[in-house]
Amino acid sequence: MTANQQVTVGPLIGILCNPVWQPKQGVLKNNKQLPGLQKMAEIGRREGALVYLFAASAVDFRTRSVKGYVWEGGRWQRALLPLPDVIYDQVISRKVEHTKTYMEKRNQLSDMYRDRIFNDGFFDKWQVTEWLTGDKRTRVHVPHTQLYKDLKSCTRFLQSHEVTFLKPVHGSLGLGIIRVVRETDGTFRYEVKRKQDHEDGSAKSAAQLSELLRPRLRRRPYILQQGLKLARYKGCPFDVRIVLQRDGSGEWKRTKMFARVAKAGEFTSNLSSGGEALPVSTILESFYARLQDRKRSRNQMTRVATLVTEVLEIQSGKQFGELGVDIGLDESGHVWVIEVNSKPWKRPYTEKGRQDLVDLAFERPIQYAIYLANQR
């Protein structure tokens, strides 16, 4: 009991997401995220914390309460709860995040919680580029990148590089990315990554292609990024996803590290578009005969990814509990930062990989949230 005779149940960890209650069935609407959220609720109970789900719209700041969902008796149950001690942001829909109602409530929560809310919001790719190029330690690992502004600068950029990637600033899953190749005869070929297929075409010049792409590039902000001569695995592009998370001590730890190899004919390695996850050792063995060279390459990738977390926290002034850093290796072995994800996707089960590392990826955010709650 507390001094005012209220019962306490250990730290209250609120997972901010977008739960949808189905009143007729008396259950939460199922989606791809729910099994992972259930896993974290179970981990919280095991760790002595109450983990519940809630939507920003369900917060009542006047009564300091929230209508949330607790995993109890093998099902999600509605409950009126106090505001949590710590918030873990797991809103994975950019559409939801950009609604006016959500943004108003979300800003209030940010002001109230400050360093007790982590991984709030998605990254802006251009902002991340500015942060990383603003520090000399990470600047050398960022490809030449600029924000799309006008036809003239776009034309110059396309002419300057053999391959250019145009990426939506607020995009995810590789959708909307445009790959442009400058052919030896001076013409330009392009492909646009869509949900189900590709759109492709060509232009006689960089100026003509800039004009052709202008409606798409003006519809939403894009960055232009230099295409690198990255090493390939069996002829297919790949990157290395490194998931770094803070644990119960508040320190950054590497949780997972795996290669993502693009499906034949694809230029993005996202698992959602058919990419295959492979051990990093399998990839490195095809490039380096000596074990010490493979170790050196792996350590270098981890070192750069760890630097990225440090620089982003300093530059953004925000607190993160986890980051997914996508690393590329060029033909000379140089490490490049391809992308940084503030909400790396985590599957609760694996068929090929190590289940203990999958479990750890769900345990660490909850342990870190408990650590933050205990700092109060």
Least confident range of 120-129, 144-153, 203-212? 120-129
Question: Rounded to the nearest 10 degrees, what angle do helices 355-374 and 34-46 cross at?
Answer: 60
Average pLDDT estimate for 332-353: 89
Q: Is the dihedral of CA 283, 287, 290, 295 positive or negative?
A: negative
Question: CA-to-CA distance for 121 and 109, rounded, in angstroms?
Answer: 12
State the Cα angle at 122 between 77 and 55, rounded to 5°. Answer: 20
What pTM did the predictor assign? 0.89
Highest mean pLDDT, choosing among 98-102, 175-179, 222-226, 271-275: 222-226
| pLDDT-derived band at 351, boundaries 50, 70, 90 | confident
> How crowded is residue 24: how many other Cβ atoms within 10 Å of its Cβ?
5
| pLDDT-derived band at 353, boundaries 50, 70, 90 | confident
SS3 78: strand
8 A C-beta contact, residue 225 and residue 144: yes
What percent of the chain is predicted at pLDDT more than 90? Answer: 73
Looking up tokens 């519940």, which residue turns up? 52
8 A C-beta contact, residue 134 and residue 315: yes
Give me the pLDDT at residue 350, please: 83
Of 198 and 169, the one with more pLDDT: 169
DSSP 169-238: TT--TTTT-EEEEE-TTS-EEEEEE-SSSEEEEEESSHHHHHHHHHHHHHHS-EEEEEPP-B-EETTEEE
| pLDDT-derived band at 272, boundaries 50, 70, 90 | low
Domains of the chain: 12-118 (3.40.50), 125-141+230-342 (3.30.470.20), 145-226 (no CATH)
Question: CA-to-CA distance for 30 and 19, rounded, in angstroms?
Answer: 9
Q: Is the pLDDT of residue 274 over 80?
A: no
Give me the pLDDT at residue 271, please: 57
Of 118 and 262, the one with more pLDDT: 118
What pLDDT digit, counting tens, does each position of 52-90 carry?
999 999 999 999 999 999 999 999 999 999 999 999 999
8 A C-beta contact, residue 203 and residue 218: no
In the chain, the amino acid numbered 207 is: A
Arithmetic mean of pLDDT over the chain? 91
Per-residue DSSP letter, 9: -
Give me the pLDDT at residue 196, please: 62
